[in-house]
């Protein structure tokens, strides 16, 4: 009996509490930078595409919504096309984890509704941004041991000069 | 001021429908506030046109009669429930001069007769739907409403004895010095609880217990037929509030403000209290509901009658 009256009273007091609801379109909620929303493809600090078309993201994707084709130019790989089907994407972020070059990144934006399902298939030009995203200084070819035009073996950051296997010196 | 009868009838019924419709919106907003959220607030200022939107939605829904239903009864059930509630309002004295039936000398009995009819609506709905859940809901409703009507009637006897009349008009006049809620406190509490059970409102909404019965007796109803059950339920809440106001809270009586305003204030307050009950209390189990009724409310209302009778005799003798 006392319990019932106390419940009534406490519930009544909630009339004077502040609402927890965020009136969404007018007030946007804060989304942390790590929020897993719309996917983008970023560029390295030199403005080149970061993606090296390694297909790791497509392999990691649990719903198989990434599709890309490798192309090659000056010894570098790049995606000829790169599609993400956002009508299937579950925003799990596995692609971002799998990517060795920080090319594919998830962003704090989720307002991507469409009236036509087909419009949810984003092409490379829709995905590619002009900046570096979350990792401003990272450039895959600057740290990898791969030789590309303008950067030979042993010239990458923190990379020792290659061992001359024909020399007899220790 | 003498108002022609047709105007009284039309205005009263229109007002009841209006109150029932608006209270659906008020309920949702209030429930929202009780749960720290704003509730429906998008349609029109403060979400006031939500009612209109709901009504339009309900009207344009497909009005479907299941092929396995007993069609005439299926159609009849919501109408019976709705009419019964509306008729109850006929005897409520809203102000000294504003009541459809005027000063009906068996007003209270008439209200009870109509409440008895309202049971039919629920039982017939459950029966004619030819659906297990609906039937279970209807059975529950029948048992619940019939047994709670007993305590309701018994709890009122104190009021009738004190006022010496079945006429609601006389009962209000008898409260000009002291509202019956004070001498008849026990009766008022029992009446309130029985009233909730009678309108099968939460926390006593076992006939519709969503988690067990789908939607209970109106599982098969759609469109405006469902809307009638819905409106009847809210009109029933307004009805119980109006009855409590009339019987225990002095009806239209009160200082300074005009009688109608006093009546409206009390009724609105009680409706909000009903909504608070819904927000705060969990639904009891069915056997708990029944044993609470027969083992607690029945003795309490009997004690109330005995005490009232003893006091009245003592006063008369003194
Ligand atoms: S977020 Fe998950 S589902 Fe979406 S593209 Fe990346 S791996 Fe696939
Ligand atoms: S986005 Fe990353 S993981 Fe996917 S193909 Fe390009 S480099 Fe590989």
- CA B103 vs. chain centroid, Å, equals 21
Tell me the average pLDDT of chain B.
83
DSSP notation for B81-119: HHHHHHHHHTT--SBTTB-TT-S-TTHHHHHHHHHHHHH
> Which whole number is the average pLDDT over B285-308?
87
Angle between helical axes of B185-198 and B298-317 (0-180°, round to 10) = 140
User: What's the pLDDT score for residue A85?
Assistant: 94
> Which whole number is the average pLDDT over B173-199?
83
User: What's the pLDDT score for residue B318?
Assistant: 64
Min distance B40 CA to chain A CA atoms (Å): 11
Q: CB distance from B182 to chain A under 8 Å? A: no
- CA nearest ligand 1 atom 3, residue: A89
Local confidence pLDDT in tens for the 170 residues of chain A: 788 889 888 888 888 888 888 888 888 888 998 999 999 999 988 888 899 999 999 999 999 999 999 999 887 889 999 999 999 999 999 999 999 999 999 999 999 999 999 999 999 999 999 988 888 888 888 888 788 877 888 788 888 888 888 888 76
Separation CA A86–CA A61 (nearest Å): 12
User: What's the pLDDT score for residue A57?
Assistant: 93
Compute the distance from residue A129 Cα to the ligand 1 centre, in Å.
18
* A51 annotated among ligand-binding-site residues: yes
User: What's the pLDDT score for residue B94?
Assistant: 79
DSSP label of B300 = H
> Does residue B19 surpass a pLDDT of 80?
yes
The verdict on the CB of residue A57 being under 6 Å from ligand 2 is yes
Q: Where is pLDDT greater, at B295 or B214?
A: B295
Contact, A157 vs A142, CB < 8 A?
yes
The verdict on the CB of residue A60 being under 6 Å from ligand 2 is no
- Chain B residue with CA closest to A26: the answer is B42
- CA nearest ligand 1 atom 2, residue: A92
> Does residue B49 surpass a pLDDT of 70?
yes
Phi, psi of B31 (to 5 degrees): -55, -40
With CB atoms and an 8 Å threshold, state whether B280 touches A11: yes
Q: Where are the domains of chain B?
A: 64-312
> Does residue B98 surpass a pLDDT of 80?
no
With CB atoms and an 8 Å threshold, state whether A21 touches B280: no
Which is it for strands A39-41 and A104-106: parallel, antiparallel or unpaired?
Answer: antiparallel
> Which range is most confident: A144-158, B98-112, B125-139?
B125-139
The verdict on the CB of residue A156 being under 6 Å from ligand 1 is no
In chain B, which residues have their Cβ closer than 8 Å to the Cβ of A21? Answer: 36-38
Q: Is B68 helix (H, G, I), strand (E, B) or coil?
A: coil
Separation CA B86–CA B149 (nearest Å): 18
- Chain A residue with CA closest to B29: the answer is A15
> Does residue B1 surpass a pLDDT of 60?
no
Residue of B29, B203, B276 for testing the chain A interface, max A β-carbons within 10 Å: B276
- CA nearest ligand 1 atom 6, residue: A95
- Distances in Å between the alpha carbon of B21 and those of A128, B17, B107, B238? 53, 6, 26, 11
CATH code of the domain occupying A43-140: 3.30.70.3270
With CB atoms and an 8 Å threshold, state whether A11 touches B276: yes
Contact, B263 vs B245, CB < 8 A?
yes
With CB atoms and an 8 Å threshold, state whether A8 touches B277: yes
Compute the distance from residue A118 Cα to the ligand 2 centre, in Å.
23
DSSP notation for chain A: -HHHHHHHHHHHHGGGSPP----TTTSPPP--TT---SEEE-B-TTS-B------HHHHH-TT--EEEEEEEETTEEEEEEEEEETTT-----HHHHH-TTS-EEE-S------SSGGGGEE-HHHHB-SS-TT-TT--HHHHS---BTTB-TT-STT-PPPP-TT----
Q: Which of residues 38-77 of B touch A (CB under 8 A)?
A: 38
Compute the distance from residue A89 Cα to the ligand 1 centre, in Å.
5
Q: CB distance from B310 to chain A under 8 Å? A: no
The verdict on the CB of residue A65 being under 6 Å from ligand 1 is yes
- Chain B residue with CA closest to A10: the answer is B280
- CA B94 vs. chain centroid, Å, equals 16
User: What's the pLDDT score for residue A164?
Assistant: 81
In chain A, which residues have their Cβ closer than 8 Å to the Cβ of B30? Answer: 15
Q: Where are the domains of chain A?
A: 43-140
Compute the distance from residue A132 Cα to the ligand 1 centre, in Å.
20
Q: CB distance from B34 to chain A under 8 Å? A: yes
Count of positions (residues) in chain B: 318
């Amino acid at each position: 009996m006392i319990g019932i009256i106390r419940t009534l009273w406490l519930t009544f007091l909630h009339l004077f509490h502040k609402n927890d609801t965020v009136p969404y379109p007018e007030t946007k909620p804060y989304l942390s930078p790590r929020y897993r929303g719309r996917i983008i493809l970023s560029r390295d600090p030199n403005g080149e595409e970061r993606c090296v078309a390694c297909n790791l993201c497509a392999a990691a994707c649990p719903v198989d919504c990434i599709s890309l084709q490798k192309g090659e130019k000056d010894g570098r790989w790049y995606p000829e096309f790169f599609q993400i089907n956002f009508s299937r994407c579950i925003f799990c972020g596995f692609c971002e984890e799998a990517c060795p070059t920080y090319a594919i990144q998830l962003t704090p934006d989720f307002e991507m509704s469409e009236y036509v399902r087909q419009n949810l298939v984003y092409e490379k030009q829709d995905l590619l941004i002009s900046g570096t995203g979350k990792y401003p200084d990272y450039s895959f070819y600057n740290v990898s041991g791969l030789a590309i035009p303008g950067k030979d073996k042993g010239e990458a950051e923190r990379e020792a000069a290659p061992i001359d296997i024909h020399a007899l010196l220790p | 001021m003498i108002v022609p009868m047709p105007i009284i009838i039309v205005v009263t019924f229109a007002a009841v429908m209006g109150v029932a419709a608006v209270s659906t919106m008020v309920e949702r907003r209030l429930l929202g506030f009780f749960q720290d959220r704003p509730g429906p607030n998008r349609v029109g200022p403060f979400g006031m046109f939500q009612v209109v939107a709901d009504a339009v939605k309900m009207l344009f829904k497909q009005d479907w009669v299941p092929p396995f239903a007993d069609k005439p009864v299926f159609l009849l059930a919501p109408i019976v429930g709705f009419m019964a509630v509306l008729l109850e309002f006929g005897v409520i004295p809203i102000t000294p001069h504003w009541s459809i039936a005027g000063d009906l000398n068996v007003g209270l009995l008439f209200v009870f007769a109509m409440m008895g009819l309202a049971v039919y609506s629920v039982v017939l709905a459950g029966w004619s739907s030819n659906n297990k859940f609906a039937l279970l809901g209807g059975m529950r409703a029948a048992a619940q409403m019939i047994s709670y009507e007993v305590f309701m009637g018994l709890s009122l006897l104190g009021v009738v004895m004190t006022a010496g009349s079945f006429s609601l008009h006389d009962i209000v006049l008898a409260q000009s010095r002291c509202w019956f809620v004070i001498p008849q406190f026990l009766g008022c509490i029992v009446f309130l609880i029985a009233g909730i059970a009678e309108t099968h409102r939460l926390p006593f909404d076992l006939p519709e217990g969503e988690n067990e019965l789908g939607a209970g007796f109106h599982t098969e109803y759609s469109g405006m037929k469902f809307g009638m059950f819905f409106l009847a339920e809210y009109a029933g809440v307004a009805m119980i509030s109006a009855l409590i106001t009339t019987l225990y809270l002095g009806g239209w009586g009160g200082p300074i403000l005009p009688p109608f305003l006093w009546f409206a204030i009390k009724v609105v307050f009680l409706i909000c209290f009903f909504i608070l009950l819904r927000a705060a209390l969990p639904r009891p189990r069915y056997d708990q509901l029944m044993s609470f009724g027969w083992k607690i409310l029945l003795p309490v209302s009997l004690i109330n009658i005995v005490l009232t009778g003893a006091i009245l005799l003592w006063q008369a003798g003194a």
